[in-house]
C-alpha cells in the first residue's frame, strides 16, 4: 500500500516538473517582468503578500470605475505617489511592458506547489532503507529455520537426535574455529563503527540551528534575487562575510512590512531591535540615534575554530569563487545551514572548476580538497605576473597551476 | 651449608638496628603525609574502593568525551546600525597623539571593530612606553566614577560641590593652585588662563617628575627663552654627552632617529660619540668611547673641558681625547643631564665656543616637552604647609609619589580646604584628595600638542570612554561654568581642521624668538671625594613610574641589566667586592643578590637589592625611579623601591643586611665567551675593507677548505618562484631601545607570565634583545700571555669594569635548513616556500624537541594557560585587558610551543591587499611589528626576490652575516656587522 501511494505521488511530481519546465520555456515577456519586478511584493490570486494581490488590485473599483482602466493602471505603476500611495516605489517600465504584465496577470493559471511533495520524497527514501533492513533480517531468519528443518529431517532419516533452532545456533557458535571467525567479524565491525563515529566528530554538515528570526534565504536571494553581497557586504573585502547589521535590513523592511501575520511577526523583530513596534511606530532614518538599540543575537552557523584563519576576500575577490561553491544553493534554503559535500559536488560552478569534495564540509580535508583542484587564475592579476612566469619555467607547462602549487597547503597560511 | 649462611645488607642489619626492622615493614621510615597532599580529610574515610573509583573515572571520562563532541553554540551579534567606516575584520587607522606628561609621540592608532589595539609611529619615534600605552587604556584599575571623599559619586554632585567651593574661595580672596605636568597643548593653556581669569588668584604650576629646570633656567639667562633647544644629532660630527641619555629618556623623542642617521657607516662617515657618565645608560652603551666618572666630577670636568677649549693646558687626561676630537670636528654637540643651572650655563658656553648654535643646536625650533619649574613647586609645598593655599587641583602629576619632599607635601595637604585630583587612577596623590575627577586616557580624548616651536599634533579619541571619566579640559570648562565642549573649542582653534586631524601632525605657526646671547662660564673644580655617591637613573620600561601598572612594561627586561619586575641598586663589581656585596646564581640558574640599607641625605631606603652592573663607575651607585609605587594597581603596587626619595643624589651610606633578593633576569651571562655572535669592526677598517670583521669560517673537508653552506646535507627549498621574506638587522644602528619588543607583544598577543616564571626562564618574549659586554680577556690575549684555556674561559665570563656593549635583537631566525622542523614528531613546525618557518599550534603536542634543537633558543613553551587564569592575573585575565588582543592572532593555549611568526598575519594582509588591487607587493608596505616600531632603521623587512627593495641590497652587503653561520641553518634573518667609530 505504502509503495502504491508513493508511486502516485512520484507520477504527480514528475508531471508538475514537466508542467513547470514547459511553462518556463514558454515564458512571456509579461511573466519575466512580473517575476523580476513585481513578484517580491505581489502574488497573483493568492492573497496579500507584501503588497496587495495583483489580480484583486487590477480588478479593484479604483481602476474599473475609471474611463480608461488600463491607462490609469499604467500611470499608477509608473508613479504611485501621484495616487497618494507611498509604500510602492515608482517602476521604470514602459507602457508596453506594463501592458504585457497586465496581460500575464489576466491569463495567469495557478500552479500546483511541488515543495511539500519533495520533502515527503526524502522522508520516504529513508523509510525504504529501514524497511529493507527488516526484510533482510526476516529472510535470514527464515533461512535459518529452513536450513535447520532440512538438517533435522536429514538427521531424522538417519535416526540421529534432532536439535531445535536455538540449539543448532548455539552449537555453531561454540565451535572454536567459528568463535575466531565471529570474534573477528565482531571486532572489525566495532572498529568500523568507532572509526565512523570518530570521523564524525567535529563534522557539522547540515548544521542548522534555530535562529532568532525565521529568515529565509529562499525569499530574499532566491525569489527576490537579492545579491548575496548586498547583505553579506564585507565578504568582498574582509576576512568575515559579516552578518548584516539591522540597518541594512531596514533599507527594505522600513517599507516592506510583510504580507501575513507570520511575516509581520518576524520582520517586527528587526523593528524591535530599534526599540520600535512594527504595528504602531514609524521608522525615521533621521531619528535612528535616538532609538533604544538592542542587537539581534544570531546563532553562528559556520563556526571557525580560533586557530584557523579564513579570509573571504581572498576567496571571493581574488579567487573569484561564487558563494555557492562552499555554501551550496543558499538561495533555495531557508535559515543558514552548512551544506553537505555531496550537495556542493552538484553545484555547477564546482563541476566547471573541476572541484570534487571527498571530505565533509568545513573540515580541513575539505579545504585541502579544493586547494588541490582549483586552478588559480593568474592571467588577469598583476600580482601573479612574476610568479606565473616563474611557475611556467619551473613546471614547463602553461597552465594548471593549482592553489597548492603556490603554497596553498602550507600550515602557516591558515594557522597563526 | 647454604642455609646457615647469612648475608647482611649492611652494618645496621648485622647490629640488629631497630630501623632495619622498620624498613622491612615500611618503605619509608617516616610516615608519608598522605592527608596533606590529599588535602581533604573526607577522602581518607570514604568507603569508595579503588575499583569503584576507576569505574567512576572511566565513566566520567567517557561521558566528558561524548559531551565534548557536541558543537558549541556560538552567537554572532552584528551592529544595529553599523558605523559607515567600520568593516568587521578590517583595521582602521587614526592619527593621534600620546602625551602623558612625560612621553610624547605622534602616533597612528590601529583600531579593530572600534577598539584601539596597536600604536604605530607617525613622524615621531615611539619608545617602548608609548608602544605599551595602548594597554594602559584597558587598565581595569582605572577609576570608574568621579570620587568624593573616597567614595563613588556622580559628575553632577562633584561639579556642584567644586563650583560652589571654588566660588566661595574666590569670594573670600583665597588662593587656588593648579599643579600640572608640562602643558604642551596650546588650547589647554588658553583654557587654564580662562580658568585663572574666572577665579582670580589661580597659580598655575608646572612640574616634571624628572625635571629639566636647571637647563631651562640657564637658557632663559643665556638666550632669554625658557625652553629646551632642538638638537640635530644627525648633523654633528662629534657628540659629547655628560650623562644625558638622549637615546633613551632625555629630550625630544626624535633624538634617537636623528642620532642613528648620523651613525650609518654606509656613507663612509659616522659621528664620533663620547659619553661621560657614572651610570651606564642606553646612550652610554651606544657610545664609541665611554668615560666613567663619579657624579660629583661632572661639573669640574665640564669646566676643565671649557678651559681646554680656550687654550688652557691643565687638562684632565680622561677627557683629552674629547678635546682633541672637538677641536678637530667641524660640527659637534655637547649635552649634559645636570639639573643645575650653573652647570648648564657652562654647557651653553661650551657649545657657543664650539660654534654649535645655529649649526647643530637650534634655539629657534625649541622643544617645549619640559617646562617644569622646581622653584615654583618647592614654593607651593611651602605655601601649602603655611596654609596659604585654599584649593589645589592636580593634573597629570603624582606629587605624593615623585616629589623629593613628598612627605612634606602630604603633611601640608590637611591645611588645604579643597583638594581635587584629575588622575585616572586612585594613585598616591588622589587618595589624599577630597575629589577625584578621573581624566580620560589619551586614546579617549580630544587634544592638541605643540611639542616644539612650529610643530603641532592633534589628539583624537579612537574609542568611547570605557568608564565614567571626563577629560580634564571638559572638567575645567564645567568648573568655569561654560557650556562649551572642549572638542568645539579645539576645532575652532585650527583652520582646515579635518585635513589636520587626518594627518595628525603638521607644521604650523612658528614663534620667532628674539634671542640674547648672554653667555657665562661658571667655574667648577673636581672635588677629591672619597666614599660612594648616589644618582638616580631612569629605565626605558618604567620611565617616571606613571605606567607602573602596565604588565607589558613591568616584564620588559631592562636592556642593560636584563632584569624585569624590579628596581635595584646598580654597583660596579669592585665596589661590591669592597662592601662584601655579592650576586650569585642558584641551582636553577636564576640570580640572587645581597640586600642593603642605603642612606642618602639623611633619608633611608631599607631592604634594597643590589645588582652588580658592569659599566657603573667605581665609587658610584644608581637606582631607577618609577618603582616603589604604593597605589598603582595590582601589577605596579609594591614592585621595587621609590628612588624619587633620592632624586638629588649625594653621598650614600650603604650597610649590607641579612637576607637575599631574588631577581628575575632573562639573560644570565654577560659576555660572548670569545665567540663571534656579534661581529664587529671599526670605521677605519670598514672604509678600507667593507667586509672587515665579517670573517667567514672555513672547514677542512676531503675536498679542501669549505664554508659551511658548501658541505650541506640539506635539500634546497624553492624560494625563487614567489616571495622570499628576509629581515636584516643592522647592529650598528640598533640602540637596544626595546620599542620593538613591546610592539611585538601588542601585535602577537604575547602573554605576560610574572616575576616568578621569568625567574624560571619561562618568559614568553618572541623577540629578545641580547646584550653582551666586552671582557678584558680575549683569545688573542691568552695566546700572547700563554694563559691556559681553563683560566681564559673563566676570566672571559667576567665583563670589563667599563665594557663595550652590543645589543642584538634575536627572534626566530626562520632557518631554511631548520633544525626544529626535522625533530618535530607531528610536523607541527614546517617550512614555507616564502622562507618562513611556520608553527602550527593546533598540531603541537608539546614534546619541546624543537625548542631543544633550536640553536637560537627562540622557541617558547606555554607551561600554563596564561589567559583566563587567576594565577596569571595580568591583562589576559581581565575583560578590559583582553580588548587589546589582536583578533588576527590566536591566543595560544597550554602545552604548545610558540615563537615569532615573522608577523605572518601582516604579510598575508599585505599580499591580499596587493592581490585585490591587482598589483605587485609594494616594498614600503611590507613590515613586521618589530621593523615598523624601529625608529633607527636597524630592522628592515622585505622580499629579497625583489631587486628594487632595500633588503635585496642588504642581503648582498659585505657586512651581512648569519648568526651561528657554522651551523649552516641558512636563516632568513641576517645581521649587519657592528661598526664602531673608534681607533
pLDDT at A50: 64
The complex's ipTM works out to 0.85
Structural domain includes residue A70:
yes
Size of interface A-B (CB pairs under 8 A): 159
A251 and A285 co-located in one domain: yes
Q: Give yes or no: residues A321 and A261 share one domain.
A: no
State which of A199, A232, A253 marks the end of a domain.
A199
**Does B11 lie at the interface with A, CB-CB under 8 angstroms?**
no
pLDDT of residue B22: 66
Report the sign of the C-alpha dihedral through residues B521, B522, B523, B528, in that order.
negative
Closest residue in A to B827 (Cα–Cα): A411
Query: What's the CATH code of the domain at A21?
Result: 2.60.40.420
Q: How confident is the model at residue A122 (pLDDT cuts 50, 70, 90)?
A: very low
Q: Are residues A250 and A320 in the same domain?
A: no
Per DSSP, the residues of B799-841 read BPSS--EEEEEE----BSS-HHHHH-TT--EEE-TTS-EEE-T
What residue ranges define each of the domains in chain B, with the CATH number in brackets?
Answer: 1-52 (no CATH), 213-367 (3.40.228.10), 532-665 (2.40.40.20), 680-980 (3.30.70.20)
Question: How far, CA to CA in Å, does A126 sit from each of A119, A121, A338, B630, B773?
Answer: 11, 9, 21, 72, 78
Confidence of residue A30 (pLDDT cuts 50, 70, 90): confident
For helices B472-480 and B486-493, the axis angle rounded to 10 degrees is: 100
Same domain (yes/no): A283, A351 = no
Nearest to A247 among B82, B87, B832 (CB): B82
* pLDDT higher at B820 or A91: B820
Residues 82-101 of B with CB under 8 A from A: 82, 87-90
Best residue in B721, B725, B918, B921 for a mutation probing chain A (most A CBs within 10 Å): B721
Among the residues of B39-137, which ranges form H helices? 41-45, 50-68, 128-137
Residues A92, A26, single domain; the answer is yes
pLDDT at B530 over 70: yes
B889 touches chain A (CB under 8 A): yes
Residues 914-933 of B with CB under 8 A from A: 914-916, 918-921
What is the extent of the structural domain holding A270? 217-290
Lowest-confidence pick of A89-103, A314-328, B420-434, B548-562: A89-103
Based on the fold, state whether residues A19 and A72 are members of the same structural domain.
Answer: yes
Chain B residues close to A293, C-beta within 8 Å: 80-81
Confidence of residue A3 (pLDDT cuts 50, 70, 90): very low
Categorise residue A369: left if φ over 0, alpha if ψ from -120 to 50, beta otherwise.
alpha
Query: B727 pairs with which residues across the strands?
Result: B941, B973
Q: Are residues A86 and A10 in the same domain?
A: yes
3-state secondary structure of B366: strand
Instruction: From A78, A107, A136, give the residue that closes a domain.
Output: A107
pLDDT in tens, B301-330: 999 999 999 988 888 899 999 999 999 999
Prediction pTM value: 0.84
What's the rounded mean pLDDT across residues A186-206?
90
Instruction: For residue range B117-152, list pLDDT tens digits in order.
Output: 999 999 899 999 999 999 999 999 999 999 999 999
What's the count of helices (H) and strands (E) in chain B, helices before strands?
Answer: 32, 43
Write down how long chain B is: 983
pLDDT of the residue at A17: 40
Give the best residue of A313, A383, A387 to mutate against chain B (max B CB count within 10 A): A383
How far, in Å, CA of B38 to CA of B675, rounded? 51
Shared domain for A148 and A80, answered yes or no, is: no
A207, part of any domain:
no
A13 assigned to some structural domain: yes
Residue B176 near residue B390, CB atoms below 8 Å: yes
Q: What is the share, in percent, of chain B residues with pLDDT greater than 70?
A: 94
The alpha carbon of B35 is separated from its chain's Cα centroid by a whole number of angstroms, namely: 47
CB nearest A416 (choices: B81, B890, B914): B890
Total of domains in chain A: 4
Residues A87 and A159 in one domain: no
β-strand partners of B705: B700
- pLDDT for res A25: 40
Residue written as grid cell 499608477: A76
Is residue A303 assigned to a domain? no
Q: What is the nearest CA distance from B834 to chain A, expressed in angstroms? A: 8
Residue A9 banded pLDDT, cuts 50, 70, 90: very low
Nearest residue of B to residue A251 by CA position? B81
In B133-283, DSSP assigns E strands to 147-148, 151-152, 176-180, 202-206, 228-231, 238-242, 272-277
Minimal-distance CA residue of chain A relative to B914: A383
Question: For all residues of chain A together, what is the average pLDDT?
Answer: 83
Amino acid at each position: 500500500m505504502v509503495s502504491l501511494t508513493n508511486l502516485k505521488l512520484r507520477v504527480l511530481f514528475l508531471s508538475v516538473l514537466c508542467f513547470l519546465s514547459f511553462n518556463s520555456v514558454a515564458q512571456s515577456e509579461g511573466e519575466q517582468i512580473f517575476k523580476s519586478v513585481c513578484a517580491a511584493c505581489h502574488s497573483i490570486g493568492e492573497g496579500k503578500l507584501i503588497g496587495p494581490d495583483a489580480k484583486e488590485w487590477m480588478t479593484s473599483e479604483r481602476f474599473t470605475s475609471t474611463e480608461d482602466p488600463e491607462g490609469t493602471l499604467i500611470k499608477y505603476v509608473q508613479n504611485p505617489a501621484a495616487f497618494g500611495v507611498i509604500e510602492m516605489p515608482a517602476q521604470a517600465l514602459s507602457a508596453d511592458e506594463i501592458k504585457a504584465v497586465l496581460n500575464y496577470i489576466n491569463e495567469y493559471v495557478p500552479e500546483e506547489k511541488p515543495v511539500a511533495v519533495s520533502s515527503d520524497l526524502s522522508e520516504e527514501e529513508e523509510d525504504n532503507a529501514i524497511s529493507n533492513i527488516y526484510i533482510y533480517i526476516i529472510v535470514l531468519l527464515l533461512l535459518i529455520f529452513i536450513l535447520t528443518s532440512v538438517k533435522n529431517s536429514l538427521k531424522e532419516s538417519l535416526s540421529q537426535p534432532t536439535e531445535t533452532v536455538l540449539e543448532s545456533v548455539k552449537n555453531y557458535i561454540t565451535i572454536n574455529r567459528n568463535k575466531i571467525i565471529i570474534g573477528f567479524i565482531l571486532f572489525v565491525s566495532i572498529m568500523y563503527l568507532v572509526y565512523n563515529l570518530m570521523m564524525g566528530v567535529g563534522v557539522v554538515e547540515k548544521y542548522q540551528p534555530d535562529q532568532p528570526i525565521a529568515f529565509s534565504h529562499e525569499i530574499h536571494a532566491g525569489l527576490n534575487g537579492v545579491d548575496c553581497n548586498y547583505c553579506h557586504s564585507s565578504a568582498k573585502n574582509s576576512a568575515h562575510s559579516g552578518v548584516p547589521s539591522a540597518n541594512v535590513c531596514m533599507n527594505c523592511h522600513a517599507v516592506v512590512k510583510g504580507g501575513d501575520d507570520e511575516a509581520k511577526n518576524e520582520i517586527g523583530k528587526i523593528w524591535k531591535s530599534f526599540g520600535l513596534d512594527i504595528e504602531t511606530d514609524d521608522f525615521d532614518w533621521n531619528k535612528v540615534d535616538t532609538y533604544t538599540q538592542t542587537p539581534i543575537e544570531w546563532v553562528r552557523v559556520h563556526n571557525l575554530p580560533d586557530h584557523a584563519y579564513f579570509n573571504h576576500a581572498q576567496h571571493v575577490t581574488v579567487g573569484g569563487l561564487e558563494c555557492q561553491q562552499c555554501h551550496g544553493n543558499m538561495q533555495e534554503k531557508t535559515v543558514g545551514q552548512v551544506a553537505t559535500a555531496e550537495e556542493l559536488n552538484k553545484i555547477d560552478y564546482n563541476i566547471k572548476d573541476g572541484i570534487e569534495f571527498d571530505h565533509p564540509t568545513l573540515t580541513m580535508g575539505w579545504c585541502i580538497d579544493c586547494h588541490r583542484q582549483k586552478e588559480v587564475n593568474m592571467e588577469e592579476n598583476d600580482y601573479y605576473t612574476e610568479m606565473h612566469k616563474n611557475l611556467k619555467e619551473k613546471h614547463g607547462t602553461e597552465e594548471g597551476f593549482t592553489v597548492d602549487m603556490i603554497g596553498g597547503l602550507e600550515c602557516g597560511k591558515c594557522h597563526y | 651449608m647454604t642455609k646457615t649462611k647469612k648475608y647482611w645488607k649492611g652494618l645496621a642489619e648485622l647490629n640488629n638496628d631497630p630501623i632495619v626492622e622498620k624498613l622491612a615493614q615500611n618503605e619509608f621510615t617516616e610516615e608519608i603525609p598522605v592527608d596533606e597532599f590529599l588535602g581533604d580529610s573526607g577522602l581518607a574515610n570514604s568507603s569508595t574502593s579503588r575499583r569503584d573509583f576507576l569505574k567512576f573515572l572511566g565513566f566520567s571520562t567517557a561521558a566528558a568525551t561524548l559531551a565534548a563532541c557536541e558543537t558549541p553554540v556560538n552567537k554572532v551579534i552584528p551592529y544595529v546600525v553599523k558605523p559607515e567606516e567600520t568593516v568587521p575584520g578590517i583595521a582602521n587607522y587614526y592619527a593621534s597623539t600620546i602625551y602623558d606628561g612625560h612621553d610624547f609621540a605622534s602616533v597612528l592608532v590601529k583600531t579593530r571593530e572600534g577598539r584601539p589595539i596597536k600604536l604605530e609611529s607617525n613622524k615621531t619615534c615611539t619608545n617602548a612606553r608609548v608602544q605599551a600605552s595602548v594597554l594602559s587604556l584597558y587598565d581595569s584599575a582605572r577609576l570608574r566614577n568621579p570620587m568624593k571623599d573616597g567614595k563613588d559619586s556622580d559628575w553632577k554632585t562633584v561639579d556642584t560641590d567644586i563650583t560652589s567651593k571654588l566660588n566661595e574661595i574666590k569670594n573670600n580672596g583665597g588662593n587656588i593652585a593648579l599643579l600640572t605636568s608640562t602643558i604642551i597643548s596650546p588650547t589647554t593653556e588658553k583654557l587654564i588662563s580662562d580658568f585663572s581669569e574666572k577665579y582670580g588668584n589661580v597659580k598655575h604650576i608646572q612640574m616634571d617628575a624628572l625635571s629639566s629646570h636647571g637647563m631651562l633656567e640657564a637658557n632663559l639667562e643665556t638666550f632669554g627663552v625658557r625652553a629646551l633647544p632642538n638638537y640635530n644629532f644627525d648633523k654633528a660630527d662629534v657628540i659629547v654627552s655628560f650623562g644625558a641619555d638622549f637615546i633613551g629618556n632625555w629630550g625630544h623623542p626624535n633624538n634617537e632617529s636623528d642620532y642613528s642617521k648620523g651613525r650609518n657607516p654606509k656613507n663612509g662617515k659616522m659621528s664620533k660619540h663620547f659619553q661621560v657618565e657614572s651610570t651606564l645608560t642606553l646612550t652610554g652603551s651606544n657610545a664609541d668611547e665611554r668615560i666613567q666618572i663619579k657624579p660629583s666630577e661632572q661639573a669640574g670636568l665640564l669646566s676643565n673641558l671649557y678651559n681646554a677649549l680656550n687654550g688652557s693646558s691643565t687638562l684632565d687626561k680622561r677627557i683629552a681625547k674629547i678635546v682633541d676630537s672637538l677641536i678637530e670636528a667641524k660640527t659637534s654637540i655637547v649635552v649634559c643631564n645636570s639639573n643645575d643651572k650653573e652647570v648648564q650655563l657652562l654647557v651653553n658656553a661650551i657649545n657657543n665656543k664650539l660654534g654649535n648654535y645655529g649649526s647643530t643646536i637650534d634655539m629657534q625650533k625649541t622643544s617645549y616637552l619640559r617646562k617644569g619649574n622646581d622653584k615654583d613647586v618647592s614654593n607651593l609645598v611651602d605655601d601649602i604647609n603655611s596654609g596659604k593655599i585654599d584649593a589645589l587641583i592636580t593634573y597629570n602629576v603624582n606629587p605624593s609619589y615623585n616629589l623629593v619632599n613628598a612627605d612634606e607635601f602630604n603633611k601640608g595637604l590637611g591645611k588645604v580646604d579643597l583638594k581635587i585630583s584629575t588622575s585616572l587612577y586612585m594613585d598616591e596623590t588622589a587618595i589624599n584628595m577630597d575629589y577625584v575627577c578621573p581624566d580620560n586616557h589619551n586614546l579617549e580624548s580630544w587634544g592638541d600638542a605643540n611639542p616644539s616651536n612650529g610643530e603641532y599634533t592633534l589628539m583624537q579619541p579612537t574609542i568611547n570612554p570605557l568608564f565614567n571619566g571626563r577629560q580634564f579640559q571638559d572638567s575645567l570648562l564645567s568648573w568655569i561654568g561654560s557650556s562649551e565642549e572642549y572638542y568645539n573649542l579645539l576645532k575652532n582653534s585650527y583652520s582646515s581642521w579635518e585635513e589636520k586631524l587626518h594627518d595628525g601632525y603638521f607644521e604650523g605657526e612658528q614663534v620667532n624668538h628674539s634671542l640674547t646671547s648672554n653667555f657665562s662660564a661658571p667655574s667648577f673644580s673636581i672635588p677629591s671625594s672619597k666614599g660612594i655617591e648616589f644618582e638616580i637613573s631612569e629605565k626605558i620600561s618604567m620611565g617616571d613610574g606613571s605606567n607602573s601598572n602596565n604588565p607589558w612594561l613591568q616584564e620588559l627586561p631592562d636592556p642593560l641589566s636584563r632584569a624585569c619586575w624590579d628596581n635595584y641598586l646598580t654597583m660596579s663589581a669592585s665596589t661590591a667586592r669592597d662592601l662584601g656585596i655579592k650576586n650569585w646564581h642558584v641551582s636553577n640558574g636564576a640570580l640572587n643578590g645581597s640586600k642593603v640599607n642605603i642612606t642618602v641625605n639623611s633619608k633611608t631606603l631599607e631592604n634594597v637589592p643590589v645588582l652588580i652592573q658592569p659599566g657603573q663607575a667605581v665609587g658610584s651607585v644608581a637606582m631607577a625611579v618609577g618603582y616603589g609605587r604604593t597605589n598603582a594597581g595590582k601589577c605596579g603596587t609594591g614592585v621595587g623601591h621609590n628612588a624619587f626619595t633620592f632624586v638629588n643624589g649625594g653621598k650614600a651610606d650603604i650597610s649590607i643586611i641579612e637576607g637575599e633578593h631574588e631577581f628575575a633576569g632573562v639573560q644570565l651571562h654577560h659576555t660572548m665567551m670569545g665567540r663571534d655572535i656579534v661581529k664587529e669592526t671599526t670605521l677605519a677598517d670598514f672604509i678600507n675593507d667593507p667586509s672587515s670583521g665579517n670573517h667567514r669560517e672555513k672547514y677542512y673537508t676531503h675536498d679542501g677548505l669549505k664554508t659551511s653552506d658548501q658541505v650541506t646535507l640539506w635539500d634546497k627549498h624553492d624560494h625563487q618562484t614567489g616571495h622570499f621574506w628576509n629581515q636584516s638587522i643592522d647592529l650598528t644602528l640598533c640602540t637596544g631601545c626595546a620599542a620593538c619588543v613591546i610592539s611585538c607583544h601588542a601585535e602577537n598577543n604575547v602573554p605576560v607570565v610574572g616575576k616568578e616564571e621569568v625567574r624560571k626562564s619561562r618568559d614568553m618574549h618572541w623577540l629578545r634583545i641580547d646584550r653582551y659586554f666586552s671582557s678584558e680577556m680575549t683569545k688573542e690575549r691568552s695566546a700572547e700571555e700563554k694563559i691556559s684555556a681553563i683560566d681564559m674561559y673563566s676570566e672571559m665570563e667576567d665583563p670589563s669594569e667599563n665594557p663595550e656593549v652590543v645589543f642584538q635583537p634575536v627572534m626566530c631566525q626562520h632557518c631554511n635548513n631548520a633544525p626544529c622542523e626535522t625533530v618535530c614528531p607531528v610536523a607541527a613546525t614546517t617550512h614555507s616556500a616564502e622562507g618562513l618557518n611556520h608553527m602550527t599550534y593546533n598540531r603541537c603536542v608539546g614534546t619541546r624537541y624543537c625548542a631543544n634543537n633550536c640553536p637560537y633558543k627562540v622557541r617558547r613553551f606555554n607551561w600554563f594557560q596564561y589567559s583566563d587564569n587567576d594565577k596569571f592575573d595580568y591583562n589576559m585575565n581581565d575583560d578590559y585587558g583582553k580588548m587589546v588582543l589582536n583578533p588576527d592572532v590566536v591566543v595560544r593555549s597550554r602545552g604548545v610551543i610558540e615563537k615569532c611568526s615573522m608577523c605572518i598575519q601582516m604579510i598575508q594582509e599585505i599580499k591580499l591587499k596587493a592581490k585585490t588591487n591587482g598589483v605587485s607587493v609594494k616594498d614600503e608596505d611590507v613590515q613586521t611589528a618589530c621593523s615598523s616600531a624601529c625608529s633607527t632603521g636597524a630592522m628592515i623587512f622585505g622580499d629579497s626576490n625583489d631587486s628594487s627593495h632595500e633588503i635585496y641590497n642588504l642581503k648582498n652587503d659585505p657586512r651581512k652575516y648569519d648568526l651561528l653561520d657554522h651551523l649552516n641553518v641558512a636563516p632568513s634573518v641576517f645581521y649587519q656587522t657592528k661598526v664602531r667609530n673608534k681607533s
